[in-house]
Amino acid sequence: MTRPAADRPDEFELIAELFAPLASGCPGALDLTDDAAFLKAEPGFDTVATMDAMVAGVHFLPDDPPDLIARKLVRVNLSDLAAKGARPAFIMLAAAFPAGTGWDWLRSFADGLKQDVEHFGVSLIGGDTVSTPGPLTLTLTALGRVEAGRGVLRSGARPGDDVWVSGGIGDGALGLRAIRGQLSGLDSADLAFLAGRYRLPTPRCGLGRRLPGLATAGMDVSDGLVQDLGHLCRASGVAAEIEAGRVPLSAAAGRAVAADESLLALVLTGGDDYELLFTAPPASAAALAGLSAEAGVPLFRIGRVAAAAEGEGLVTVRGGDGRALALKQAGWRHFRHAGQ
């Protein structure tokens, strides 16, 4: 369908009308009227920067509601900042819109951005807007702050540390199945809950910014718990053993796995969780319980860090009978999709 010309906003109208209002919290963004934004360095703090791209058909469904696409884009990035112990401050958006994207779609997209800009207390300080003959492609950069030298890295885990994760794991991967109609045996409330967790994850910002000083290493779970724990282990030069039965499942995910045991592998490896995975010495357990209550996010101890042993896998997942589970795939990889 061709749209009337007036429905096709030009780049400058779009920036002035829809994006500039989201810059109001940052004077240095100059209402998006200049070439670049000016940020004041904050003495005593490190600036933490992260970027995530989302492509229609890969990270979200092309007909997903535009406001939810925008909010997911913000949230997957803030999840990375949370994992590093940082408070979010600024975002920058590079958007490649398919030619012919209309005002209604863009307005709804900007509304979603505005909701989360306000909710998480960040400012949109710049970006770029182009049109593309390809699928909608959105790239967001998020900048945050953490006390200098206290950011949580992947590389600090030590043998003897506990492995912790925030709950619950698997909702996102199950939610995508639910949206695709590939999940049977659940009622509509469970299906809606899981789909909601896929479309609109909750970055654990309150938890993350309390982790410096307690977590020895940490990351967010975006590509699958087992694969991501493997990344953390590799960075730290350690191995880890977790118990499948301790991995926290939402009520809906629990019912999905009870109805079809084979979904446990999807829960452990599926990704799109945006929960925090971290390690801490056992002596920190009581402090972590307090922090979990403060942040209002449940935390679960799912295993233990061990020394890496030659010729053995970095991550072992034990089932209820104590035997190691054989998982075909540890998690999601771009460029090497399942079945290839």
Q: How far apart are CA 172 and CA 220, in angstroms?
A: 13
Closer by beta carbon to Mg ion, 32 or else 49:
32
Residues in a beta bridge with 277: 165, 219
Binding site partner of 278, from Mg ion, ligand ADP, none, Cβ cut-off 5-8 A by kind: none
Q: Please identify, using beta-carbon distances, which residue of 71 and 84 lies nearer to ligand ADP.
A: 71
Q: Which amino acid is at 312?
A: E
Is residue 129 near ligand ADP by the rule CB under 6 A?
yes
In the sheet with 217-221, reading across from the earlier edge strand, the strands are: 217-221, 275-280, 162-166, 299-307, 238-243, 315-318
By a kind-dependent CB cut-off of 5 to 8 A, residue 128 interacts, out of Mg ion, ligand ADP, none, with ligand ADP
CA 294 to chain centre: 21
To ligand ADP, the closest distance from the beta carbon of 146 in angstroms equals: 24
Q: Which residues make Cβ contacts (< 8 Å) with residue 218, sequence separation at least 6?
A: 83, 84, 85, 152, 153, 154, 208, 211, 232, 276, 277, 278, 279
Question: Rounded to the nearest whole angstrom, what is the least distance from the CB of residue 30 to ligand ADP in the complex?
Answer: 7
**Count of positions on this chain that bind ligand ADP (CB under 6 A):** 12
CB of 19 to ligand ADP, least distance (A): 4
Token pair in block for residue 93: 């958006």
Distance CA 228, CA 218 (A): 10
Question: What's at 88, amino acid-wise?
Answer: P
Which of 20, 308 has the CB closer to ligand ADP?
20
Which residues are paired to 275 by β-bridges? 221
Among 10, 35, 310, 321, binds Mg ion (CB under 5 A): 35
90-109 residues near ligand ADP, rule: CB under 6 A: 93, 95
Of the two residues 31 and 243, which places its CB atom closer to Mg ion in the complex? 31
The least CB distance from residue 139 to ligand ADP, in Å, is 10
Using the structure block, give the residue that is written with the tokens 């402090």: 287
Q: Omega of the bond prior to 168 within 30 degrees of 0, cis?
A: yes
**Rounded to whole angstroms, how far apart are CA atoms 261 and 325?**
13
Closest distance of CB 101 from ligand ADP, Å: 12
Q: Binding mask 13-52 vs ligand ADP (x if CB under 6 A, - otherwise)?
A: --x---x------------x-xx-----------------
Q: Which one of Mg ion, ligand ADP, none interacts with residue 32, CB within 5 to 8 A by kind?
A: ligand ADP
In which region does residue 218 sit, left (phi positive, over 0), alpha (psi from -120 to 50) or beta (all else)? beta
Member of 124, 146, 157, 314 binding ligand ADP (CB under 6 A): 124
The correct pick among 126, 170, 172, 208 for binding ligand ADP (CB under 6 A) is: 126
126 binds, among ligand ADP, Mg ion, none (CB under 5 to 8 A by kind): ligand ADP
CA–CA separation, 254 vs 332, rounded Å?
Answer: 22
Residues that bind Mg ion (CB under 5 A): 35
